Chain A
Amino acid sequence: MFFVTYLRRELLGRPRQAAVIAAGLALGIGLVVVVSALSSGVREAQGKVLGSLYGVGTDITVTTAVQPASRSGGFNQITPKPYPRHTDVLTSSTLGTLNASAVSSISTLRNVSAAVSGLVLTEITATIPADNAPPQSSFQPPVQTSVVGVDADHTGYGAFSSARLAAGRGFTAADATANVTVLDSSYASAHRLNVGSTITVAGARLRVIGLVQQNGGSNPPQVYLPLARAQQLAKLTGKVNIVYVQAASAALVGAVTDEISKLMPSAKVTNSANLAKGVAGSLATTAKLANNLGKWLAVLTLVIAFTVASLLTLAAVTRRAREFGTLKALGWRSRRITGQLLGECLALGIAGAVLGIAAGFGGTRLVSTAAPNLSAIVQQANIGKDAFGGDLGANGGVFSGQVGGPVTTYANPSATHTVAVPFHAPITLTAIVLAIALAIIGGLIAGSLGSWRITRLRPAAALASVE
């Protein structure tokens, strides 16, 4: 076919020009691929952070703010006694409680595919010194453990969903009020616990039935209990403090959020979009870089690449004017000549896409290799879980006040924790399709401008032009 022969000869016969146009397009496309991969990587990292907070499959969480007067566990005021005491309480200190019936109300809403409740608690064990003890002499900092009560019938939602069973078994419906527990494997290892061991939570002895592996960077819960047993131990029967909601589709998350807000005006309804806004740290900085600077840099490079390709094509048409004039003299219709030119530009666009994607893969690998792990700093008050992820004694969180006098407990409402996220920039199929489409569009823009120039070319003038 002459079209293909001519096209091949032109591209191979003018390699420098073809290389410059293809390289220009490739540069723009490569940058688009890198920025797109960076954005995907950031989204993925955000997803990991959000997943570690929400659990897999959860689109929305519903919580209420803690009311100072309603803090459970009876630990607000501790009156010193003349003898030392050991206390072990399970408290919902960072989240207010909701009636368990809230779950049923939410699950009846339109576009809600699942609603599962949980109880996010903190076990605080401390030894309160005698009131006549010398100040600071025998005070032991309190030990607190993060405990989560999970719905044994629906372990696929909430915090437990992102945990991977490492030993033993998970919860079953029969475990609802049983004295059983599943532990984080790191926690278990640190305390030399294993499947079959026994731990004490709020005075109850619980048998360890399983160990789970979790993303340590996300500061996961250390102890899981069946929800009903957790409610009993925390003296919160009929109460929950978090509801995990799954929308019927990702597109409906916003609508479901609004509906829940209307149903429960005093509740805090959080979805991934508004949770992501609360994420700070290098992850947020990278997200801003990818979404702002990267996006505009890619757009600018693309515009420059398209302009360069168009100008070079126009210059090529001017240089080849006599050739096109000759073809017109031979009886070639303008449409056939422009088709030939468009074919050449399209081929260059495809070459630009291939080179650009290759450059994009190289650039992305470079970024992934050079980029350090990202960290996300998350406001704990917004999370609804892991309220006391760190050593609050050391951080000055839970206990303060004068030993020997009344001890006041409080949770630091602005406390944050940092989640480490390994950065990986994946090149998605969408990015590749986008790159090919952009390169082809770039080629066609250049070709169309060249074609427009050809159609305006008078054969006589074209033949008179000097090459």
Chain B
Amino acid sequence: MYTLTGVTKSYQKGRRTVTALKVPELVINDGDWLAVQGRTGHGKTTLLQVLGGLDQPNTGSIILDGHDLTKMRQSQLTKIRGESIGFIFQTFNLIPTLSAAENVEAALVPRPIASAQRHHLVSEALDSVGLGDRARHRPTELSGGQQQRVAIARALVKQPQVLLADEPTGNLDEHTRDEIIALLEQLWRQNQLTLVMVTHDSRIARRAQHLGAMKKGHLTVWPNTHQSPTSHQAPGGRHD
């Protein structure tokens, strides 16, 4: 469970101080799916980065399962990311020189897992996204949708509690987008993930339990009463 209190993130642009993120209070319960929408440059990605411990806010606290991410050293944040948080990026961020299986395996490197077990987990993860037969292919030999499937397998292979997805279908065509979202939704439900997804696409957002709107760094969250798929859980919290 995430609990954000008084989180702000600002940066200097010349003499001007720009507020990238301002979240007075937000609770995201385990297993929630929060879809955040907003215009480009309004702080959606910054929200994901502070939630993932990739960036530190200027003020406030971000509690994940009792641990305040804002008070942790880099090494501790790295450990949390390696164990509990999975990331999916709009541009997939696969390592071009590695095969699909090796890209997935990269997520298990920080974990003390024996090689044979690691290969088994990688194989399972690729199977779960329907790419068991593409394990040896390099990213350039895969379509955009397949690359994103590899990225999803990479994010989920370590069985994280939290999945942070930054416009995961932003670079995909409509058909592939629907496939990827259906897959994500299935995996979210299957693995009881806490999913925070940034998206420009309202059709995708409608599937989430909670909707968030980002405007000039301010986040407003409300329950999605018109959720397309089956409702999963009651809203954990909201605010701007």
Residues of A within 8 A of B (CB): 1-2, 5-6, 9-10, 12-14, 322-323, 325-334, 336, 458-460, 463-464
Contacts and interface: CB of A to CB of B under 8 A. Distances in A.
Interface string B49-64: 1001011000000000
B98 interface: yes
20 contacts: A6-B95, A9-B102, A12-B97, A323-B95, A325-B54, A325-B93, A326-B87, A326-B93, A327-B95, A327-B106, A328-B54, A330-B106, A330-B107, A330-B154, A331-B80, A331-B82, A332-B110, A459-B54, A459-B55, A463-B49
Interface of B: 45-46, 49, 52, 54-55, 74-75, 78-83, 87, 89, 93, 95-98, 102, 105-107, 109-111, 115, 154, 158
Given A9-B102, A329-B54, A460-B55, A2 B109 contact: yes
B54 A460 contact: yes
Most-contacted residue by chain A among B81, B115, B158 (CB, 10 A): B81
B105 to A, nearest CB: 6
B81 A13 contact: no
B55 A458 contact: yes
Contacts of B106: 2, 6, 327, 330, 332
Nearest to B52: A329
Given A9-B98, A330-B87, A336-B109, A322 B78 contact: no
Nearest to A12: B97
A326 B78 contact: no
Contacts of B107: 330-331
Given A326-B93, A328-B54, 19 more contacts: A2-B105, A6-B95, A6-B106, A9-B98, A13-B96, A322-B93, A323-B95, A325-B93, A329-B52, A329-B93, A330-B87, A330-B107, A331-B78, A332-B106, A334-B78, A458-B55, A463-B49, A463-B93, A464-B45
Contacts of A5: 98, 102
B11 to A, nearest CB: 11
A333 B75 contact: yes
A329 B87 contact: yes
Contacts of A1: 115
A446 B45 CA distance: 33
B97 A10 contact: yes
B240 to A, nearest CB: 22
B77 to A, nearest CB: 9
Contacts of B46: 460
A332 B83 CA distance: 11
Most-contacted residue by chain B among A2, A6, A327, A329 (CB, 10 A): A329
B216 to A, nearest CB: 19
A402 to B, nearest CB: 92
B147 to A, nearest CB: 13
Q: Closest 8 interchain pairs by CB?
A: A331-B82, A13-B97, A460-B55, A331-B110, A9-B97, A459-B54, A326-B93, A331-B81
Contacts of A322: 93
Contacts of B52: 329
Nearest to A340: B109
Given A6-B102, A9-B97, A463-B93, A332 B109 contact: yes
Nearest to A335: B75
Contacts of B55: 458-460
Contacts of B93: 322-323, 325-326, 329, 463
A334 B96 CA distance: 20
Given A9-B97, A10-B97, A326-B89, A333 B78 contact: yes
Contact of B78 (A2, A323, A332, A460): A332
Contacts of B98: 5-6, 9
Nearest to B93: A326
A336 B75 CA distance: 12
A460 B97 contact: no
A143 B236 CA distance: 119
Given A459-B54, A463-B89, A330 B102 contact: no
Contact of B82 (A10, A14, A330, A463): A330
Nearest to B138: A13
B81 A329 contact: yes
Most-contacted residue by chain A among B45, B82, B83 (CB, 10 A): B82
A5 B106 CA distance: 11
A2 B54 CA distance: 24
A171 to B, nearest CB: 74
B43 to A, nearest CB: 12
Most-contacted residue by chain B among A322, A336, A460 (CB, 10 A): A460
Contacts of A323: 93, 95
A464 B44 CA distance: 13
Contacts of B105: 2
B97 A14 contact: yes
A13 to B, nearest CB: 3
Contacts of B49: 459-460, 463
B96 to A, nearest CB: 7
B42 to A, nearest CB: 15
B44 to A, nearest CB: 13
Nearest to B118: A2
A332 B81 CA distance: 9
A79 to B, nearest CB: 98
Contacts of B111: 331
B80 to A, nearest CB: 8
